[in-house]
Chain A
Amino acid sequence: GAVVSQHPSRVICKSGTSVKIECRSLDFQATTMFWYRQFPKQSLMLMATSNEGSKATYEQGVEKDKFLINHASLTLSTLTVTSAHPEDSSFYICSARTSGMNNEQFFGPGTRLTVL
């Protein structure tokens, strides 16, 4: 149980285009989802927290107009990188939790974004 999937696993796009990454909780309802960004050989940095049906809360320094987050249902959250540039290339990881899971987050396998 507690499986989180991400799609796509890898995406390459041209500079200036937008890319959407999906995060799904497959066997539980995720009241909260988190989006992280991981640079090569570095730790995970929390980008934003999203609760189903409400606006995402972004961490300091994260541009909310560039990284659009939608958590429209209890099993799906999406991250859209708008007008992507090479500096947006990174590994994006989502996680999900639900109430009663004792603060445990279940992580997706990650999405490797490369912007040319």
Chain B
Amino acid sequence: AQSVTQLGSHVSVSEGALVLLRCNYSSSVPPYLFWYVQYPNQGLQLLLKYTTGATLVKGINGFEAEFKKSETSFHLTKPSAHMSDAAEYFCAVSYNFGNEKLTFGTGTRLTIIP
């Protein structure tokens, strides 16, 4: 079975500061890993994904994440937070080899302090 743990249901950072949202996964086979962002009353938008290859993945809006197999982690970072980054962020995992079921973490609400 696969699972995702997001540490910290709420994270607050000052505008311009580093954003770090943590995600650890559990998977018995090589995982596909995803970060999604959700704005209020909207669906999910893909920020970035890891499938194979380079472990440092760059996404939209200046976000990036690094797949660390030894730590079973896929933390999301952004060097400088903007007010528009305030949203809910979800980490998700699916199996490799064509299993497309996504298992989501419980989400992290990011608040940006002016």
Contacts and interface: CB of A to CB of B under 8 A. Distances in A.
A103 interface: yes
A84 B3 CA distance: 31
Given A42-B107, A103-B51, A109 B102 contact: no
B43 A93 contact: yes
A112 interface: yes
Interface stretch (A13-21, A43-51, A70-78): A43-51
Interface of A: 4, 6, 32, 34, 41-46, 49, 91, 93, 95, 97, 102-110, 112
Interface of B: 32, 36, 41-46, 49, 51, 90, 94, 98, 100-107
Given A44-B104, A46-B102, A49-B101, 4 more contacts: A42-B107, A46-B101, A103-B100, A110-B43
